[in-house]
A and B are shown apart, each in its own frame.
Chain A
Amino acid sequence: DTEVTQTPKHLVMGMTNKKSLKCEQHMGHRAMYWYKQKAKKPPELMFVYSYEKLSINESVPSRFSPECPNSSLLNLHLHALQPEDSALYLCASSQVTGAGYGYTFGSGTRLTVV
């Protein structure tokens, strides 16, 4: 299995809702990432997990809460989002010490906050 699977593919949520994005991989990668991407812009790093521990938090607002329950799963819990948080959220994974082989990305969750 050489894929990163993200669910759901599309999500519309109100500003008072709580929702979660899910990401799963079975490649044995021990580093997992969340990126946020606005239209026609490059992805921006949000969080990095290494061996299921949060290693990088790029000063992301607390309304985004990441979780890595095991080596194959990565969640992003969303609460009280703002319309400007509407974007494509990409999950990726890589080898921890061999990230030079590149990331494997999922196809993303298109999030719309109304």
Chain B
Amino acid sequence: AQTVTQSQPEMSVQEAETVTLSCTYDTSESDYYLFWYKQPPSRQMILVIRQEAYKQQNATENRFSVNFQKAAKSFSLKISDSQLGDAAMYFCAYSLKETSGSRLTFGEGTQLTVNP
């Protein structure tokens, strides 16, 4: 079974600084997807960034980037120039490529606080 581990229950960062959230996962598959989702107090889960396992290039979305280390099964999220609106619970998630709907396996989450 696939598992996702986020070892940092809480993190904090100063506004405009950079923070890195850690995620490791365990799988015997070679082709899969990895995601970071953000869940602010409004409750809606928002996709931040995605990575396809067969692509070696790290994904980037504006201030968000990942460090994907496939051999080490590591998938960390870097947030640059942190903003107050980045404060949220961040979940790392894993999904296989399936043809009948894909289940997401989530980590336990990291609560990010952004200090002004």
Contacts and interface: CB of A to CB of B under 8 A. Distances in A.
B14 to A, nearest CB: 24
B29 interface: no
Given A100-B33, A102-B50, A45 B103 contact: yes
A42 B99 contact: no
A55 interface: yes
Contacts of B42: 107
A107 B44 contact: yes
Looking at chain B, what size class is its interface with the partner chain? 20 to 34
Interface residues of A, number: 30
Contact of B101 (A56, A90, A100, A104): A56
A41 B108 contact: yes
A48 B104 CA distance: 11
A90 B45 contact: yes
Interface string B81-99: 0000000010100010111
Given A96-B101, A99-B102, A43 B50 contact: no
A99 B95 contact: yes
Interface of B: 33, 35, 37, 42-47, 50, 52, 89, 91, 95, 97-104, 106-109, 111
Interface of A: 31-33, 40-43, 45, 48-50, 55-56, 88, 90, 92, 94, 96-97, 99-108, 110
